[in-house]
């Protein structure tokens, strides 16, 4: 019986089953055996051609994907057709790779063979299919994602050479084009200039201005709220490489004051930071020192036009010093063809946004027209006009006034809108009490206030246009309102970074219920003292006039010279108090209708200061030791003095001399007594050694 040939393994990674190869000695015709050998030789060549073709196609496919990834997304609408073609090609490539993968897995499952052979075939299939799927999916995702929304610096034009402090206006013209192409309509913009996640400013225009006070890198972020409820983020990093002192205004006018500020150059650290000891200013950089001051603010007036370089050298308490330079351009003011003035309410045009102001033109010239340019792309018409500034920046408000004769005048005011300052713990000391930023009192209403806050290096100023008299310093504020009415008082606070807090206080001056008012100077005298009483602020009802004043000083004496007080005196009078004590001062005011009005105040006269004091000529020496005791440093009027030298000897003289005969340590006491029995004493130790 003929022996059967063993079965030939079936290939699972080829397209068809491999042909059986005749073994030696089998009855196969020589022609058939030759054909089999020829077919087996062709297969490696076919595999090589297929692999080469697939390799070239894959390389081209990957190269095309890399090109798409480098091209898209774009910051504009360019290449939209190319992106569409690329999207179609990548999608078809992914579909083809998926189809080949599915077909290959079906073929592997249908063809027989060992599990190891099927596993090898499956791995080969994945190696060929997965890269194509991955490249296609990645490319589709990356080229169709949203572009990066960019924020841009609109002003100043040369953003690479910014010198702090500087006002920077941000915008997004390119991004607005993208929003339009994406059919997105912005509703409002929330600007975060401090990277704290809290909006610092909200606008309805795609622009905002921020004052950068120091050099550094500032991440600027904008949250754009769309009308369809979606939110987009726009941002940039602003680099301010240099900083110098502040200038106000940035373009000084000849013969007008220019203010220079060093606040932004002070070291951070609050009370622990080095303090400015001296600032040396050279306003024209001619080598001549124009000003030396310990203040952070300096003012200069330029009398020549042109470019000027300003230099300042700052010396600090830690013995370090630094110098800064800055160029400014002094310009010529516009000449007016007729007399005209520009007044503002408030008078101090400084504050955070939104900031409202009223501008009024005053002239006797007949005016044909008055147009306004507020410097923020807004305009107006009229002799009196109000405007609200909604963005941070410095705005030159210009009015062009044309008279009926055809002459044209131009006037301008600088409005500074700054970053807001928050003073959450602001309180006031003084009188009257400030309740909810309102003050109410009777005329004459006198205000004496001092703002208090825990934040360091805050400077305060006040805008009180309607007050009768005003006296204000960096901290305290004094004002008097003599007329009945409702007034506005503005408190302005500025920190070292020039951030501003501005708060309006409403002042209501009411008609007086008590018409008698007088002051005492000094308010707390020391006996003996002469006190001046002044009733100039006394009011009487309408229709009456004051005929005289009667003063009762509270010490059994009156201004009339007798206890009845029937004689009249003036509204201003002096009186002497010899003894300390508490006195009730009564003022009676008589009027033409024989009416009288009474006012009272309490005056405390303090006792005079007494202090028994002496200085020994020496405190030690060898016996016998003579010592002079000088009591001229004593304060007060004494009727008696008593010295006890500690060795059994006493004296009642002034400036006595005593000889200590024996060695020892002596306690010398001095007691002085005033006429009213008050005593004051002092002791000293005298050491006497053996000769």
| Residue 180, φ and ψ in degrees, nearest 5 | -65, -40
pLDDT at residue number 8? 46
pLDDT at residue number 384? 93
Nearest to 266 by CA among 290, 310, 297, 301: 297
CA–CA distance, 370 with 576 (Å, rounded to integer)? 63
pLDDT at residue number 684? 94
Greatest Cα pair distance, the chain, in angstroms, is: 169
CA–CA distance, 366 with 436 (Å, rounded to integer)? 45
- In degrees, rounded to 5, the angle at the alpha carbon of residue 196 between the alpha carbons of residues 190 and 198 is 35
CA–CA distance, 213 with 419 (Å, rounded to integer)? 10
Looking from the CA of 482 toward its CB, the CA atoms found within 13 Å total 8
CA–CA distance, 437 with 428 (Å, rounded to integer)? 10
Parallel/antiparallel/unpaired status of strands 367-373 and 355-362: unpaired
pLDDT at residue number 3? 46
Question: Computed from CA positions of residues 184, 187, 189, 190, in that sequence, does the dihedral angle turn out positive or negative?
Answer: negative
| Residues found in the chain | 691
405: helix, strand or coil:
coil
pLDDT at residue number 163? 85
| Residue 332, φ and ψ in degrees, nearest 5 | -95, 135
Average pLDDT per 10 consecutive residues for the chain, totaling 691 residues = 46 44 49 52 62 73 77 65 80 82 80 77 79 81 74 82 85 87 88 88 86 87 92 90 84 80 81 86 86 83 87 91 90 84 88 91 92 89 92 83 89 85 90 90 87 88 84 82 88 84 91 77 88 85 80 76 54 87 89 83 87 91 92 87 93 92 93 87 93 83
pLDDT at residue number 675? 81
CA–CA distance, 515 with 502 (Å, rounded to integer)? 35
CA–CA distance, 320 with 314 (Å, rounded to integer)? 8
């Amino acid at each position: 019986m003929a022996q059967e040939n063993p079965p030939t393994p079936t290939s699972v990674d080829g397209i068809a089953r491999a042909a059986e190869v005749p073994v030696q000695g089998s009855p196969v015709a020589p022609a058939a055996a030759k054909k089999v050998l020829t077919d087996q030789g062709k297969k490696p060549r076919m595999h090589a051609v297929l692999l080469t073709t697939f390799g070239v196609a894959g390389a081209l496919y990957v190269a095309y994907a890399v090109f798409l990834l480098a091209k898209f997304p774009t910051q504009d609408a360019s290449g939209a057709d190319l992106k569409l073609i690329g999207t179609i090609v990548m999608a078809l490539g992914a579909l083809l790779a998926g189809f080949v993968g599915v077909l290959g897995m079906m073929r592997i499952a249908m063809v027989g063979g060992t599990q190891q052979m099927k596993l090898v075939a499956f791995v080969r299939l994945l190696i060929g299919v997965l890269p194509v799927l991955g490249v296609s999916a990645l490319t589709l995702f990356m080229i169709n994602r949203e572009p990066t929304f960019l924020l841009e610096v609109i002003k100043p034009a040369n953003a690479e050479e910014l010198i702090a402090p500087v006002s920077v206006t941000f915008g997004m013209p390119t991004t607005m084009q993208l929003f339009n192409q994406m059919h997105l309509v912005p509703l409002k913009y929330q600007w975060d200039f401090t990277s704290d996640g809290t909006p610092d400013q909200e606008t309805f225009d795609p622009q905002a201005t921020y004052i950068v006070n120091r050099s550094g890198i500032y991440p600027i972020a904008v949250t754009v709220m769309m009308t369809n409820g979606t939110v987009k983020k726009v941002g940039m990093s602003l680099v301010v490489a240099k900083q110098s002192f502040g200038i106000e205004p940035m373009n000084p006018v000849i013969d007008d004051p220019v203010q220079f500020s060093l606040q932004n150059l002070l070291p951070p650290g609050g009370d622990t930071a080095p303090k400015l000891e001296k600032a040396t200013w050279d306003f024209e950089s001619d080598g001549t020192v124009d000003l030396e001051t310990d203040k952070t603010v300096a003012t200069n007036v330029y009398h020549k036009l042109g470019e000027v370089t300003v230099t300042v050298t700052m010396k600090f308490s830690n013995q370090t010093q630094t110098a800064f330079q800055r160029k400014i351009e002094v310009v010529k003011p516009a000449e007016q063809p007729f007399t005209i003035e520009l007044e503002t309410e408030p008078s101090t045009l400084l504050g955070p946004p939104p900031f409202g102001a009223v501008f009024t033109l005053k002239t006797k010239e007949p005016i044909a027209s008055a147009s306004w340019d507020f410097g923020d792309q807004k305009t107006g018409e009229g002799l009196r006009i109000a405007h609200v500034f909604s963005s941070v920046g410095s705005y030159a408000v210009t009015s062009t006034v044309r008279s009926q004769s055809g002459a044209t005048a131009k006037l301008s005011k600088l409005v500074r809108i700054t970053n807001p300052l928050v003073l959450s713990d602001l309180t006031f000391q003084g009188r009257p009490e400030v309740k909810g930023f309102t003050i109410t009192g009777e005329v004459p209403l006198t205000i004496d206030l001092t703002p208090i806050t825990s934040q360091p290096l805050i400077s305060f100023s006040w805008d009180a246009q309607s007050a009768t008299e005003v006296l204000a310093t960096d901290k305290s504020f004094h004002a008097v309102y003599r007329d009945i009415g409702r007034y506005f008082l503005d408190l302005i606070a500025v920190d070292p970074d020039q951030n501003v807090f501005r708060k309006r206080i409403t002042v209501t001056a009411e008609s007086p219920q008590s018409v008698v008012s007088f002051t005492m100077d000094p308010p707390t005298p020391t006996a003996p003292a002469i006190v001046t009483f002044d009733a100039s602020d006394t009011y009487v009802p309408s229709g009456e006039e004051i005929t005289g004043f009667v003063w009762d000083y509270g010490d059994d004496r009156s201004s009339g010279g007798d206890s009845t007080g029937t004689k009249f005196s003036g509204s201003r009078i002096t009186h002497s108090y010899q003894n300390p004590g508490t006195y009730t001062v009564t003022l009676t005011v008589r009027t033409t209708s024989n009416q009288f009005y009474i006012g009272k105040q309490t005056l405390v006269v303090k006792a005079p200061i007494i202090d028994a004091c002496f200085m020994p000529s020496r405190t030690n020496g060898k016996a016998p030791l003579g010592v002079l005791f000088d009591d001229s440093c004593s304060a007060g009027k004494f009727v008696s003095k008593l010295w006890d030298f500690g060795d059994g000897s006493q004296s009642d003289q002034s400036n006595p001399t005593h000889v200590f005969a024996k060695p020892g340590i002596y306690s010398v006491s001095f007691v002085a007594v005033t006429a009213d029995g008050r005593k004051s004493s002092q002791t000293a130790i005298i050491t006497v050694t053996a000769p």
